[in-house]
Chain A
């Protein structure tokens, strides 16, 4: 009897603390400053750890340089210069040198494959998962690491799981309740309140620290918001600061329940799997949505897949054919505190969330950018590239023309044909037959 009473008391104290310190402030959008203190302590600890590592590691076996520097010295001269000739020159046996060198360079290091795995860190952040060259340095460092593991798994993880649970339940219950009301401005206001509160709770469930820049450009109703994609958490990060209408496939399971509940409170655009294949249907429904100026802005990730937040890959043109105003948003995570990238081939959703909840924190910057519209004489692809460049520049990311779909599929033959065309032009001149 005593044991059960004690457990009951502990549980109720725990829940009251959580309620008072986290849930209530979330509802009002107020912060008590606890997470700021946590972050300060964390930063100091990581700085100390970095100094100790640098002192401890001998120089030759040193830390691997960051992936952005590159393994090989590259000569980025275009095909014409590399083949040392002018237009209309003849084929030489030595042409194969250029192509074989380029080919071998690609084998040693290519721009795309490295984007589908987590970014390498220059200095260790006390998480074994990020350092491939983990080696013993000193007793003190190992002790701090062990302490870190204890803190993360025994203190932070239960707290975060509790919060996540509460957040999601509140979302489902709240939106279902709000959905019962007749359509009115009260309903919209309540639905916004529910969404924002639950999102804030969920963000605290990840110890997220988000900095929003240029809030004056926040996406407006009747527009389309596009952003670079790193993980499913992107959605959470954006919806904490504003309400959006999501676009996506109807899932089963927990996701499905959340989706069905959300759509009762405010109109999201969920598609059946079969409907997704029909591009005209998708475009039509999206057009209808943005035509209604009272509806929330649509949130779309044009890359179509998760990239590791060091670069922005090709934006699929579908979102840019709908018309309407595009509000670009750049999201950049700070990998020092936790790696937010979802490598879907390596981790499923549950183990990904577990990794998120046992990281130190999720720290990111969100930049809202001035709205853009398609100009005269610009087609969807050019417009998509223009938006992509803007986002890459703002977020400090590299820009790549490659398709994120290369994660799973081979490159399209059209790209190879382009290379062959370039080469052929050099051999036989401009269409002289």
Chain B
């Protein structure tokens, strides 16, 4: 029996999305937040709506984070799309991993998918590899004008060299995960919604 959220503008099939976030109360809160961000009551969010958030606009990776809501050249993100990105940051609960049906696709908040989210922040053209050029561009986003070109190039070279195992001058997703295998991803990439 699919849960439905009927509201003034549209009906959303929330069952799969509900599972993404752990409960309808959290979903309702996020829905109100979505509505609050949607300034002209369009029913979807555009880049400008997200850029209006002060704390996001001053974030060094702000533009890349906004990009993650608009894949494939989209100009709009609706509520399910909004939730799908946020679902990456749901904390990993213990009872999830035990009961999971191996035939079902991995949940969005698994370690692998959290890593993939961050990988895509660096991988500008989404070709599955972070080239040296892409790394340089993202680093430039993060530091602005505060660091010289030479310094940035040396940082990029060092980072790519450390992670690159097969010597192709780029960091693939596997190499990326390998270089971060000791890191506690769950704690650093989780946002807990209060009940």
List the B side residues contacting A424 at CB < 8 Å. Answer: 143-144, 146-147
Q: How far is the CB of A370 from chain B (nearest CB, A)?
A: 33
Q: How far is the CB of B178 from chain A (nearest CB, A)?
A: 11
B54 at the interface (CB under 8 A from A): yes
Binds B, one of A273-281, A389-397, A414-422: A414-422
Contact B33–A109 (Cβ < 8 Å): yes
- Cα-based distance from A97 to B50 in the complex (angstroms): 19
Which of A64, A65, A423 is the one whose CB lies under 8 Å from B60? A423
A interface SS class: helix
Which of A70, A97, A114, A117 is the one whose CB lies under 8 Å from B188? A97
Which of B36, B89, B147, B176 is the one whose CB lies under 8 Å from A117? B36
Q: Tell whether A101 pairs with B60 under 8 Å between CB atoms, given A113-B36, A427-B147.
A: no
Enumerate B53-106 residues with CB–CB distance to A below 8 Å: 53-62, 65, 85-86, 89
- Cα-based distance from A140 to B189 in the complex (angstroms): 49
Q: How far is the CB of A237 from chain B (nearest CB, A)?
A: 28
Which of A71, A103, A402, A427 is the one whose CB lies under 8 Å from B61? A103
Contact A106–B155 (Cβ < 8 Å): no
A165 at the interface (CB under 8 A from B): no
List the B side residues contacting A347 at CB < 8 Å. Answer: none
Q: Tell whether A105 pairs with B191 under 8 Å between CB atoms, given A91-B159, A94-B180, A112-B54.
A: yes
Contact A421–B146 (Cβ < 8 Å): yes
How many of chain A's residues have a CB under 8 angstroms from any CB in B?
A: 53
List the A side residues contacting B171 at CB < 8 Å. Answer: 93
Contact B29–A71 (Cβ < 8 Å): yes
Enumerate A375-433 residues with CB–CB distance to B below 8 Å: 402, 406, 410-411, 415-421, 423-425, 427-428, 433
List the A side residues contacting B57 at CB < 8 Å. Answer: 410-411, 415-416
Closest to B176 in A: A93
List the B side residues contacting A402 at CB < 8 Å. Answer: 54
Q: Tell whether A433 pairs with B148 under 8 Å between CB atoms, given A69-B194, A93-B122, A103-B65.
A: yes
Contact A420–B191 (Cβ < 8 Å): no
Contact B144–A416 (Cβ < 8 Å): yes
Q: Tell whether A106 pairs with B194 under 8 Å between CB atoms, given A96-B122, A97-B189, A416-B144.
A: no
List the A side residues contacting B8 at CB < 8 Å. Answer: none
A111 at the interface (CB under 8 A from B): yes
Q: Tell whether A93 pairs with B180 under 8 Å between CB atoms, given A100-B117, A420-B143, A421-B146.
A: yes
Residue picked from B51, B185, B190, B191, most chain A C-beta under 10 Å: B191
B158 at the interface (CB under 8 A from A): yes
A98 at the interface (CB under 8 A from B): yes
Which of A94, A106, A114, A418 is the one whose CB lies under 8 Å from B56? A106
B12 at the interface (CB under 8 A from A): no
B193 at the interface (CB under 8 A from A): yes
Instruction: Given contacts A425-B146, A433-B151, list 13 more A-B pairs with CB under 8 A.
Output: A72-B192, A73-B193, A91-B159, A96-B118, A97-B118, A99-B60, A411-B54, A416-B60, A416-B144, A420-B142, A421-B146, A423-B142, A424-B146
